[in-house]
Amino acid sequence: MNARPAAARPAPELLGIYLNDHLTGANAGTELLRRAARTHRGTALGPPLAALAREVAEDRESLRAVMAGLGVPEARGRAALGRLAEKAGRLKTNGRLFSRSPLSDVLELEAMRLGVEGKACMWRALRSLADTGAPVDGARLDGLLRRAERQSRILETLRGDRSEQVFAPEVARAVPAGLF
């Protein structure tokens, strides 16, 4: 017949771009979480950030496995792009030129949460392929999605707590009592 063997099929182009974009984000997210965990070692933020860094690195490997199963090659040059993006993300207007501002924590926690939310969207998109006969493990993707949702809740709690710690004293000094 005319059917090509599975190994000879070309990788899906748009899916390949999409998954490589997410892999680039996973590289940047892993680096950001690892750096944040090191920065906050010995503080209340340290342990949950270290645990999240390990999980996000595991999720990145899960993504690589899904890509391999779908025949999507990893765009190696994009790994460097992810590292550069994470480093560029350090250049933010946080009110301080050469030192860390408490605002850095809030902005980084927001960036981490946005990354995890994007990852959850990707797991959902891949999960929808399981019902089409694509070679993806729906149950495994369900587990990865649940983990991403839990990670997002943890990051939102950390972000909310840190936002209050950073902004509440400033507002108390600047806003007359009873205004809010």
* Model pLDDT for residues 79-123, shown as the tens digit of each residue: 666 556 555 555 555 555 556 788 999 999 999 999 999 999 999
Q: Tell me the C-alpha distance between 92 and 173, whole Å.
A: 25
Q: Tell me the C-alpha distance between 37 and 158, whole Å.
A: 13
Residues in the chain: 180
- Whole-structure pTM value: 0.82
DSSP H/E element including 29? helix 13-39
Q: Tell me the C-alpha distance between 40 and 49, whole Å.
A: 8
In the chain, domain spans: 11-90+102-172
List all residues 6 or more positions away from 146 whose beta carbon is below 8 Å from its beta carbon: none
pLDDT at 11 over 80: no
